[in-house]
Structure 1
Amino acid sequence: MKFDLVIAGVGGQGNILASQVIAKCAMDAGYNVVNTETKGAAQRGGSVLSHVRIADGEIYSPLVPQGQADVLLGFEPLEALRYISMLNPAGRYIINTAPVPTILANLLVDEYPSQAAMVAAIQAKGLAGYFLNATQQAKAIGDVLLTNVIMLGAFTALTAILPATAVLNKLLTMVNASFHEADTRAFQCGRTLIQT
């Protein structure tokens, strides 16, 4: 068994926590796991790409090779578009459609693409997946910082590589108890968004 996941987003969206939850859960299940990130000024809203490689045999590289990811979780649509080529032809994606404009776009030095243009460019690749506004759902629950938890829940509905209850329980061991109720609601929300 081999499973490769990439999580694309920007600094501050919780990519790294999400990848660590999945990696630790997979280790608990007895798999060999490698988890690493490639970052660009992550604390300033720069690109963050997390790689999680899970296997029952040897893993020879920490980075998912181009065109081999089984799942792409796109926490931000432009970053998802940037890394959609990481997916293998049978791979699937879940992409949060809420944009986080770049610093240059905010300074009007660069133009951030429209949501419609990004969605169309991703759909043109002919890959299967889901678009959802996890950020809007997180705000409805009460905190935009729950976006990554919604994406985690969606991930467990997309693939059966890890049991959903195990992923949620691992998350809850890694965050303060005061967040458990909201995290549980956000996780279940994410699962519902993919199951409908």
Structure 2
Amino acid sequence: MKFDLVIAGVGGQGNILASQVVAKCAMDAGYNVVNTETKGAAQRGGSVLSHVRIADGEIFSPLVPAGQADVLLGFEPLEALRYIGLLSKKGTFIINTAPVPTILANLKVDEYPSTEQIVAVIREKGLAGHFLNATRAAKELGNVLLTNVVMLGAFTAVSNILPPDVVLKKLLTMVDEKFHADDSRAFAVGRGLIGKEG
């Protein structure tokens, strides 16, 4: 068994927590796991890419090679586009359509394309996946910081690598108890978004 997950986002979106939840669940299940991040000025809104590699045999590299990821979670659409080449032709993407321009885009060093342009380019690649607005769903729950939990819930709806209840329980052990009710709701909402939006 081999499973590769990449999570592409911007610093502050909580993708590192999400990757750690998946990694710890896989370790608890007895798999070999490597979890690593590549970051660019993460705390200033820079790019953050998390790699989670899970296998029942040896893992030779901490980084997911191009064209090999089973799932790409794009917490931010332009970051998802930037790393879509990591996704296997047989893989699945889940991309949050709410943009978070990086510091370079805000400084006009990078030009930020429209969400429609990003979606069109990704669709042209003929890959399977889901576009959803996890940020809007989190805001409707009362806290934009729940975006990562919405995305984590959505992940468990497209991948059967780990049981959803196990993932949620692991998440709750890693956050303050006062967030448990909101996180549980956000996780359920994320699972429900799969299939509702194309």
In 2: Cα distance, 1:25 partner to 1:195 partner:
25
- Does structure 2 conserve the Cα–Cα contact (< 8 Å) formed by 1:4 and 1:70? yes
Q: Which residue of structure 2 aligns with residue 193 of structure 1?
A: 193
Q: Aligned-pair distance for 1:103? A: 1.9
Q: Which residue of structure 1 aligns with residue 70 of structure 2?
A: 70
Q: Which residue of structure 2 aligns with residue 53 of structure 1?
A: 53
The Cα RMSD (Å) is 0.8
* TM-score (normalizing by structure 1): 0.98
Runs (5+) with no aligned partner, structure 1:
none
Q: Which residue of structure 1 aligns with residue 122 of structure 2?
A: 122
Q: Deviations over 1:133-171 (max 9, x none)?
A: 000000000100000000000000001000000000000
Q: Secondary structure at the match of 1:142?
A: coil
Q: Aligned-pair distance for 1:109? A: 4.1
Q: Which residue of structure 2 aligns with residue 42 of structure 1?
A: 42
The residue correspondences of 1:22-37 to structure 2 (distance < 5 A) are 22-37=22-37
Q: Which residue of structure 2 aligns with residue 145 of structure 1?
A: 145
Kindly provide the amino acid, as one letter, of the partner of residue 51 in structure 1.
H
Q: Which residue of structure 1 aligns with residue 10 of structure 2?
A: 10
* TM-score (normalizing by structure 2): 0.97
Kindly provide the amino acid, as one letter, of the partner of residue 146 in structure 2.
L
Kindly provide the amino acid, as one letter, of the partner of residue 102 in structure 2.
T
- Does structure 1 conserve the Cα–Cα contact (< 8 Å) formed by 2:47 and 2:102? no
Q: Secondary structure at the match of 1:100?
A: coil
Runs (5+) with no aligned partner, structure 2:
none
- Does structure 2 conserve the Cα–Cα contact (< 8 Å) formed by 1:146 and 1:183? yes
Q: Give the paired residue count.
A: 196
- Does structure 2 conserve the Cα–Cα contact (< 8 Å) formed by 1:157 and 1:195? no
Kindly provide the amino acid, as one letter, of the partner of residue 105 in structure 1.
A
Q: Aligned-pair distance for 1:101? A: 1.1
The residue correspondences of 1:91-130 to structure 2 (distance < 5 A) are 91-130=91-130
In 2: Cα distance, 1:110 partner to 1:72 partner:
23
Q: Secondary structure at the match of 2:83?
A: helix
Kindly provide the amino acid, as one letter, of the partner of residue 126 in structure 1.
G
Kindly provide the amino acid, as one letter, of the partner of residue 95 in structure 2.
I
Percentage identity across paired residues of the two chains: 78
